[in-house]
Amino acid sequence: GFKKDDPGTIPKSSFNEKLVFCPVSTKRGTVHMRRFVLVLTLMLFLLGPSLSRAAGLDADADGLSDLLEAKFKTDIVNPDSDSDGYPDGLEVNNGYDPLQGRGIKLKKRIEINVKTQKLQYFLGNVSMGEYVISTGKKSTPTPKGSFVVKNKLPRPKSQAYGLWMPYWLGLSAAGIGIHELPEWGKGKKESAADLGKAVSHGCIRLGVGPAKKLYDWAEVGTEVKVY
């Protein structure tokens, strides 16, 4: 042994030991990382899509969540799966196919299920999200069929009912649109407790947050299917 604060007694071998570095294969490390992320994403997916969304995992920091990476079949640890110079998230957020690399637009679509009171929106064949809604009551039912978004208005007022409809997506069905929970006089807003129930005048109502997100995402001409 050696005495504390007495360098003369420290064994010479202590000074002669060499640092040994274990070489790591970048390729092998990437493969292991990809497998780890895929397994983790699968676990989260099995536990529930809502948990995956809440976690907000984005292994390659490309702006596209790992859950959506799995749906689009993009490379979960490569921010630019098609090597076109644009991150996967940027392409998807602007409606482009993240796997083609040739500026190919994917079709946007909104589907509304009156029975379940749910709305889903799609880019190509990938569901981008699902929201609870409120459709028309029995006396003023929401019309079923295939429509398109005809116009977008930030906060129009209904002359028939005297209420404001934030984030309005007007449909090709006359007088019908998708919008946030309406606002009545003196700042009174429709209760979120009505979501999931058929209580509207025919329009499709969304909660605060989802309405703006869908408004920003949808374009004039976006297909809307109500069934």
pLDDT in tens, the chain (227 residues): 434 444 444 344 443 443 333 444 455 666 666 777 667 666 655 655 555 454 579 999 999 999 999 999 999 999 999 999 999 999 999 999 999 988 899 999 999 999 999 999 999 999 999 999 999 999 999 999 999 999 999 999 999 999 999 999 999 998 999 999 999 888 799 999 999 999 999 999 999 999 999 999 999 999 999 99
CATH superfamily, domain at 108-226: L,D-transpeptidase catalytic domain-like (2.40.440.10)
Active site residue 201: no
Report the distance separating Cα 108 and Cα 124, nearest Å: 6
Question: Which tokens in the block code for residue 80?
Answer: 């630019």
Find tokens 């940027």 and name the residue.
90
CA atoms within 13 A on the CB side of 1: 3
> For position 13, what pLDDT does the model report?
41
Query: Using CA atoms in the order 192, 197, 203, 207, what is the torsion angle rounded to 10 degrees?
Result: 20
Per the residue annotation, which of 22, 32, 179, 201 is the catalytic one?
Answer: 179
Phi, psi (degrees; rounded to nearest 5) at 192 = -65, -15
Per the residue annotation, which of 22, 32, 201, 203 is the catalytic one?
Answer: 203
Active site residue 203: yes
Q: Where are the domains of the chain?
A: 26-93, 108-226
